[in-house]
Structure 1
Amino acid sequence: MHEHQIYLIVDDDSDDIDFFCEAIEKIRPKAKCLIALNGEEALQLLRETDKPLPDYIFLDLNMPRMDGKTCLGALKTDNTLSDIPVIIYTTSGHHKDREETTKLGADYYLVKPTSFDQLCKAIEKAVKAVGKSTSSETV
Structure 2
Amino acid sequence: MQYKDYGKLKTLLLVDDDTDDQELFKLALAELDHPVKCLTAGNGQEALDNLCTHAYRPDLIFLDLNMPLMNGIVFLKRIKDIDHLKNIPVIIYSTSDEPREISAARSMGAVDYITKPTRFDELCRLLKVVLAGDTSLH
TM range (shorter): 0.7 to 0.9
Distance, in Å, in 2 between the alignment partners of 1:99 and 1:86 is 14
Structure 2 counterpart SS, 1:57:
strand
Q: CA deviation at 1:129?
A: 4.9
Distance, in Å, in 2 between the alignment partners of 1:73 and 1:43 is 11
> 5+ residue gaps in structure 1?
131-139
- Are residues 1:74 and 2:53 paired? no
Query: What is the TM-score of this pair, normalised by structure 2?
Result: 0.85
Distance, in Å, in 1 between the alignment partners of 2:83 and 2:38 is 23
Query: Percent identity of the aligned residues?
Result: 41
Which portions of structure 1, spanning 4 or more consecutive aligned residues, are displaced by more than 4 angstroms? none
Matched-pair contact (CA < 8 Å) for 2:14–2:39: yes
How many residues align? The count is 127
Matched-pair contact (CA < 8 Å) for 1:108–1:129: no
Structure 2 counterpart SS, 1:34:
strand
- CA deviation vs aligned residue, 1:72-104 (integer Å, no higher than 9, x gap): 011111110111110000000000100000111
| The one of 93, 100, 103 aligned to 1:89 | 93
Distance, in Å, in 2 between the alignment partners of 1:29 and 1:94 is 31
Summarize the Cα distance change of 1:122–1:47 in structure 2 as closer, same or farther, 3 Å threshold: same
Summarize the Cα distance change of 1:81–1:111 in structure 2 as closer, same or farther, 3 Å threshold: same
Which amino acid is the alignment partner of residue 90 of structure 1? S
- Are residues 1:53 and 2:25 paired? no
**Which protein has greater RCO, CA pairs closer than 8 Å, 6+ apart?**
2
Structure 2 counterpart SS, 1:58:
strand
- Coordinate RMSD, CA, aligned: 1.7
Query: What is the TM-score of this pair, normalised by structure 1?
Result: 0.84
Which amino acid is the alignment partner of residue 7 of structure 1? L
> 5+ residue gaps in structure 2?
1-7
Distance, in Å, in 1 between the alignment partners of 2:58 and 2:121 is 24
